[in-house]
Structure 1
Amino acid sequence: MVVASSMVLIGAAAVVTLPAAQAATITPGAWYNIINVHSGKAIEVSGGSTADAATVVQQTVGSGQNQQFRFESAGTGWWRIVARHSGKAIDLWEWNTAGGAEFRQWPITSGVNQQFSVQNIGDNIQLINRHSGLALEVWEWSTANGARISQFDDLDGANQQWRIVQVGSGGGPTTPPPTGNPPSTSFPTPTGNSPVNNGTIQVSGTFDGGMRRYCCIGDGGQGESQDPVFEIAAGGTLQNVILGAPAGDGVHCEGNCTLRNVWWEDVGEDAATFRGGSNYYVIGGGARSASDKVFQHNGSGTVHINGFYAENVGKLYRACGNCSSSYQRHVVMDNVTVRSTKVLAGINTNWGDTARFTRITVYGSAVICEKYRGVSSGNEPEKIGEGADGVNCFYSSSDITIR
């Protein structure tokens, strides 16, 4: 077994220092079943719940996305384990360092109670929580469905050993796989024009525009409260659409949504606003000519941006800093290219917002992560800093390519 030669515990809130263990080949962006060696059953979020604090248990291996997890780097040798169906992380509940403490799901944070070291045990792995230094296990060697996932001293037992089995990249519209190809930097030619004559288009389910150009709403300016071209109901998908000018307030997502291969030729007020839900996905596509921002995040949860291109914009993403309701908001950017862009993400550190960046290409120069102090509605948030800090803004020099 590969383990640390020493563990340093600091005060009552223990932080465990372990070496970077390359115990298993973990593919970024891949989804895995995590199967207990003793019981043969998989870790899952109980009942497929998307709620904060839903329990983590074992269950007979199935195809449900609540049994599928992504390993997300939290720094050298440390990993977050993120559920596919909810976008939330396995969390050592209430930072409990006791043996038998349970795990639940919770929105991704920078907390070390959501971080694990992956250790080799032959062909299997062991997961050691960074906060407690204890091993993830099936409690009391249970083989029953619904048995809780807990932690205990590292005893090298089979109930503390796991196999990770990569699963297919399928998935529903709110949990798509990331794209691997570099973003296209060429805006597509419309297959036709579809003027929006009857006001905002309401979308439920999937709307495929066949790469037609949709316009025209609003005046193309930054005036507040313009109508959107598309309003997407919770769980909806908008794909293969070009928004021409003027495009008003672009797209409104009223809940979890997916924007796949959507292009904004000239952003007006905002390209898209995420208003209610827990996970929003932007896959492919691009936007240009946004004097202010492209994506406005007003609701809670996480915006995932993958394979996207932005050109001549102020901010690619902004977590609202003066909305009437304050939330902890998160953004994850991967495989994104920007040109003539001032800022990739603006977040509010006093509310616990986070921004994570991988495979970012910048033509020219840009601020990667800009930090604000969020304020009450009607006031202007204060900029308080910028740059990676390992607390709110997560990236390293290897994540950013400057051209």
Structure 2
Amino acid sequence: MKLTTYVIIPLLPALSSAAVIRRQFGDGPQGGADSTQGDLAARPPPRFPFPIARFPVPSETVVLNETIYIQPGQVFDGHMKRYEFQEGSCNEQAEGTDADAVFNLLPGATIRNVVIGKHQAEGIHGLGDAWVENVWWEDVCEDALTSKGLNTQLRVIGGGARNATDKIFQDNSLGGKFSISGFYADSFGTFYQSCGNCLNQAKRNVTIQNVIAINGTRMGIINPNYSDEYRIKDSQVADVDRYVDKEIGNNVQTVPYTVGTGPDEKYALYNLTRDHITEFEGEVLNQYIPENPYEWLGEYWTEEADSTVRR
């Protein structure tokens, strides 16, 4: 049975009470934290709560004629506006190019407080290390966020995506890492996928932490023959068939084949009990509440689709 209802109480109650951001992102031992993401502590704390189990309603739409490139070191703050191409089209069978993406992130870029509109062929392409903060995809076509480049590290904090018939996060990078924290996913095929037939292949790494995911087929697809590592922890999941599928990837662009599913001791490094993966029952657990939230944040969430907040 699909989960469709939530208990209704206000989204942003007393923002004066702060929570601790758990800055743990993969690449450690099974059940461990990541020692390679030390730069997280140097960034200012987020000014938005996460995860939020409902979508914002933008009051303004920005219609684009061409892709926006966010330059190295630039912080692009959309203030919760919707961004989309006027002639948006969706072909789930076609792999989009950088020119099809609404945003391209150059190395060192940050995109923040943005809504990607419906019917966009591609959402965001990360062309190098980048931050994606409080970004929402209203209706995913091929992919919401695609990682490209050499050793690219993408850090996703907050935000959400829905109606991703194919997948939400696609890792096409050569030896990259994905860190996804505080995200909300509703209705999807695959939450995260390590490319199974890219021309250039290498080990990839993903850590999924403190997310809410409902109505999906699987949380991940990885390639153990390239030594991929997959972790999920401190998350709430409901009506998702499988946590991870393991495939034999290739670099000749043929369809990979599945060799297994579920946790193991080497590639799918998670345990439902130890890593606190629980059933989502309408109550948001472990929500981060900022000490200094954006003053305008509450204007973009309507009351009729509220979620609960555990205090």
Q: TM-score, normalised on structure 2? A: 0.74
Which residue matches 1:372? 247
For the aligned residues, what is the CA RMSD? 2.6
Query: 78, 89, 105: which is aligned to 1:219?
Result: 89
Q: Distance in 2 between matches of 1:343 and 1:330?
A: 17
Which residue matches 1:326? 201
CA apart distance, 1:80: 5.8
After superposition, what is the alpha-carbon deviation per residue over 1:39-66, rounded to whole angstroms, capped at 9, x for unaligned?
xxxxxxxxxxxxxxxxxxxxxxxxxxxx
Q: Distance in 2 between matches of 1:228 and 1:336?
A: 25
1:400 aligns with 2:272: no
Partner secondary structure for residue 305 of structure 1: strand
Q: Counterparts in 2 of 1:1-400, with a 5 A limit?
A: 29=22, 74-75=30-31, 82-85=35-38, 170-172=41-43, 183-197=51-65, 199-204=66-71, 205-216=74-85, 218-222=88-92, 223-226=94-97, 227-276=100-149, 277-299=151-173, 300-398=175-273, 399-400=276-277
After superposition, what is the alpha-carbon deviation per residue over 1:59-89, rounded to whole angstroms, capped at 9, x for unaligned?
xxxxxxxxxx9995635xxx56613347xxx
CA contact (8 A) 1:28 1:72 kept: no
Aligned length: 251
The amino acid that maps onto 1:224 is: E
Q: Distance in 2 between matches of 1:71 and 1:369?
A: 17
CA apart distance, 1:393: 0.6
CA contact (8 A) 2:197 2:256 kept: yes
The amino acid that maps onto 1:310 is: A
Q: 1:258 to 1:287 in 2, by over 3 A?
A: same
Structure 2 unaligned blocks of 5 or more:
1-19, 281-311
Q: Distance in 2 between matches of 1:178 and 1:349?
A: 34
Partner secondary structure for residue 255 of structure 1: coil
Q: Distance in 1 between matches of 2:61 and 2:140?
A: 17
Higher relative contact order (Cα pairs below 8 Å, separated by 6+ residues): 2
Greater C-alpha radius of gyration: 1
Q: 1:170 to 1:391 in 2, by over 3 A?
A: closer
After superposition, what is the alpha-carbon deviation per residue over 1:351-371, rounded to whole angstroms, capped at 9, x for unaligned?
000101101211223311110
The amino acid that maps onto 1:83 is: T
Q: Distance in 1 between matches of 2:27 and 2:196?
A: 30
Taking every aligned residue pair, what percent have the same amino acid on both sides?
Answer: 35
The amino acid that maps onto 1:220 is: C
Q: TM-score, normalised on structure 1? A: 0.58
Q: Distance in 2 between matches of 1:362 and 1:182?
A: 15
CA apart distance, 1:218: 4.0
Structure 1 unaligned blocks of 5 or more:
1-26, 32-68, 87-168
Q: 1:342 to 1:177 in 2, by over 3 A?
A: farther
The amino acid that maps onto 1:402 is: E
* Range moving further from structure 2, 176-185 or 275-284: 176-185
CA contact (8 A) 2:127 2:152 kept: no
The amino acid that maps onto 1:311 is: D
CA contact (8 A) 1:180 1:335 kept: no
Which residue matches 2:289? none
The amino acid that maps onto 2:101 is: P
CA apart distance, 1:375: 1.2
Q: Distance in 1 between matches of 2:250 and 2:28?
A: 30
Q: Distance in 2 between matches of 1:385 and 1:308?
A: 26
CA apart distance, 1:246: 1.8
Partner secondary structure for residue 350 of structure 1: helix
Q: Which has the higher strand share?
A: 1
CA contact (8 A) 1:238 1:259 kept: yes
